[in-house]
Amino acid sequence: MLTYQVRPRVFKLESGQTLPFPEVGEVCFYFSPLQPFGLEAGGGHTAVQNVAATAGFNVNTGAHVIESKQPLVPLEITIEEPDRVVKLAGNVLTISQTFASNQELTELIQSIYFSYPMLLAVEFADPPIIERADGQVGGVTFRWELREWKMQYEITTQEKQEQSAASSWERIGILSRPGSRRLLAALHYFHVALRLARRGEIAGEFLPEMILNLSKVLEVLFPPSGDGKTRDATRAGLRKLGFSEKEIEADYVPAMALRNEIDVGHVDLSLFKVDQLTLVHGYAERAEWAFRLLFKRLLEATASGSFEIEPYEPKPAAGEAVRVIEILRDHAEKYER
């Protein structure tokens, strides 16, 4: 739980300043999207009761929003507790209290940052996130920021980008070959993984789901034989594509290991040390580049005929899958729109 979202953060202060403790202070949390907090008329799924509204529907993507003619006004609540005062004004939540130590301040911010948006998601149609947090203690202002961040970019040229588009078009024929279902599925999982990586709005938001899809890439491309050993089958397939043992163990096998063992494919409530999380995050955030190399090599080898993906002949759903569908059919009236 939160294995991929918890990151080392620091209090960013003006040069030479330190936070005084114990001292009275306040912390401000800034939420988005704005519609459910009464700061924007449209852009979400929140409509005002008994007020005319206009629904917008994108017939190409299926995306839909609604905008009330008279939207909510900015939310305004004040909650007074024995040790603190909590105020919500629009999309800004402010907590005022005395902070005894840096640890107490940090723990309060972390608890609100992760837990309050989760609780709001139960009540709000538009699940909110906290974009940033700042505040002051004893008059010394601070910003709560990531301690560090690594960034990777692709360097290209006009000619290279156009050639990439042309090459991708030429490869469409590979996907139409008989028995190409595994390759098609793998490309789909990779595309979903990258979409998740780009759409996240807070650090590590969809990293576990990204890793899950990268693991599926390997599982569908390199199916195990009768022994069911998926990792060994993946190792063997990657060797045939020319990857070294170090590349295999460092860049690919970890996706399957994380999927099975660390809060991706299964529930995990474990507490990890900072250095352990650093390793997990380090792998997860650079994995896409290794998998992109895998696909480039795989597509070239498939096109030349030097590598063959194990064929899969489509067949009707059967067994447990059909049983699940029939369970849904028993309640079909609830799913009708």
- Provide the domain count of the chain: 2
Q: What are the residues facing 65 on neighbouring strands?
A: 56
Cis check: omega of the bond before 22, within 30 degrees of 0? yes
d(CA 117, CA 120): 5
**251-290 burial by CB neighbour count: b if 16+ within 10 A, else e?**
bbbbbbbbbeebbbbeeeeeebeeeebeebbebbbebbeb
* Helix intervals (H) in the chain: 102-123, 158-170, 172-175, 181-199, 207-221, 230-240, 245-247, 253-261, 274-304, 320-329, 332-335
Q: pLDDT tens digits for 75-122? A: 999 999 999 999 999 999 999 999 999 999 999 999 999 999 999 999
Q: Looking at the DSSP assignment, which residues form a beta bridge with residue 146? A: 9
188 and 275 share one domain = yes
Question: 140 and 84, same structural domain?
Answer: yes
Whether 44 maps to a domain, the answer reads no
Within this chain, do residues 222 and 317 fall inside the same structural domain, yes or no? yes
Task: Establish if 156 belongs to a structural domain.
Answer: no
Range of the domain at 111: 1-33+74-149
Residues 123 and 211 reside in one and the same domain: no
For residues 180 and 145, state if they share a domain: no
Q: Are residues 191 and 273 in the same domain?
A: yes
Backbone φ and ψ for 112, nearest 5 degrees, come out as -70, -45
Question: Does a structural domain hold residue 332?
Answer: no
Residue 238 lies inside a defined structural domain of this protein = yes
Per-residue pLDDT of the chain (337 residues; tens, 9 = 90+): 899 999 999 999 988 899 999 999 999 999 999 999 999 999 999 999 999 999 999 999 999 999 999 999 999 999 999 999 999 999 999 999 999 999 999 999 999 999 999 999 999 999 999 999 999 999 999 999 999 888 889 999 999 999 999 999 999 988 888 779 999 999 999 999 999 999 999 999 999 999 999 999 999 999 998 777 899 999 999 999 999 999 999 999 999 999 999 999 999 999 999 999 999 999 999 999 999 999 999 999 998 989 999 988 888 988 999 999 999 999 988 888 6
Q: Does 97 share its domain with 227?
A: no
**Do residues 263 and 196 share a domain?**
yes
**Residues in contact with 335: Cβ distance below 8 Å, sequence separation at least 6, in sequence order:** 328
- 164 occurs within a structural domain: no
- 82 and 129 inside one domain: yes
Q: Are residues 131 and 210 in the same domain?
A: no
Alpha carbon distance 47, 65 (integer Å): 9
The verdict on residue 38 lying in a domain is: no
Residues 179 and 317 in one domain: yes
Q: Based on the domain organization, do 202 and 95 belong to the same domain? A: no
Please check whether residue 60 lies inside any domain of the structure.
no
Measured between alpha carbons, how far apart are the two ends of the chain, in Å? 34
